[in-house]
Amino acid sequence: MGEAIGQVLLYGVAVALGPFPIIGVVLMLGTPRARTNGPALLLGFVLGLSLVGTVVLLVSGGAGPGEQGQPATWVSALYLTVGALLLWTAVKQWRGRPRGDEEPAMPGWMRRVDSFTPLKATGLGAALGALNPKNLLLVVAAAATIARTDTSAGAQAAALAVFVAIGALGTGTPVVLYFALKERSKPLLDELRRWMERNNAAIVAVICLLVAAKLIGDAVSDLSA
């Protein structure tokens, strides 16, 4: 289990640093329903990550290392595919980053958060965790990494739980600050949101580039072994 957990730490940190879920939860915490919608979005985010990770583990069940202990070929192929997609995302985000005084483009749902119910906030969190292209690729890569280890189903489930917990830290931290500091958290959270909005593209580009390099490097190493 320790091997599986160690290999998914990078993916968990990459998910945790994703800007949109953090921006989304900070916006929720600035609405009249902050006390319910903030935790609801966090819950949905955790459920989204858990659902995708569980599905990948179930689909890949029994497809672990070969008889000589070498990684299964499908894992290397998946690594190359996900790595290439993340590399493409990194280039696209970096080229599309705002220059000078240019305002970054933000999704339309950010202007409607005041009208969200807890159910909608949970749904948004799930979408940010499971349907956000970057997060989807990262969860698939993490689950595939867990599946390639020669460990029991229980150990794989525990490794996935650790990945989800780490991935939720970025979205969960503003919620903790809100309840711990109450009104004193507002200036801090507003500054965090503005910084994330301004640097969203650059953050995503760097995250995707680092993970893509690891995935492609691991795949090439596996195929040449």
> Where does residue 43 rank: exposed (0-12), middle (13-18), buried (19+ CB within 10 A)?
middle
Give residue 137's pLDDT.
92
Q: What pLDDT is recorded for position 23?
A: 94
Cα→Cα distances 220→6, 11, 27, 110, Å = 20, 19, 42, 40
Return the closest-CA partner of residue 4 out of 186, 154, 199: 154
**Does the pLDDT at position 47 exceed 80?**
yes
Report which DSSP code applies to 112.
S
Residue 196's pLDDT is 92
Note the pLDDT tens digit of each residue in 187-216. Answer: 999 999 999 988 999 999 999 999 999 999
Predicted local confidence at residue 61, as pLDDT: 65
> How many Å apart are CA 177 and CA 187, to the nearest integer?
11
Give the predicted TM-score (pTM) of the model. 0.90
Higher pLDDT, 181 or 61: 181
In the structure, what pLDDT confidence band is assigned to residue 38 with cuts at 50, 70 and 90? very high
Confidence of residue 63 (pLDDT cuts 50, 70, 90): low
The reported pLDDT for the residue numbered 225 is 63
pLDDT at 100 > cutoff 60: yes
pLDDT class for 111, splitting at 50, 70, 90?
confident
Q: What HEC string does 64-75 produce?
A: CCCCCCCCCHHH
Q: Is the pLDDT of residue 72 over 80?
A: no
Give pLDDT, residue 107: 81
Residues 185/38, Cβ–Cβ less than 8 Å = no
Position 66 pLDDT exceeds 60: no
Mean pLDDT, range 102-116, rounded to an integer: 83
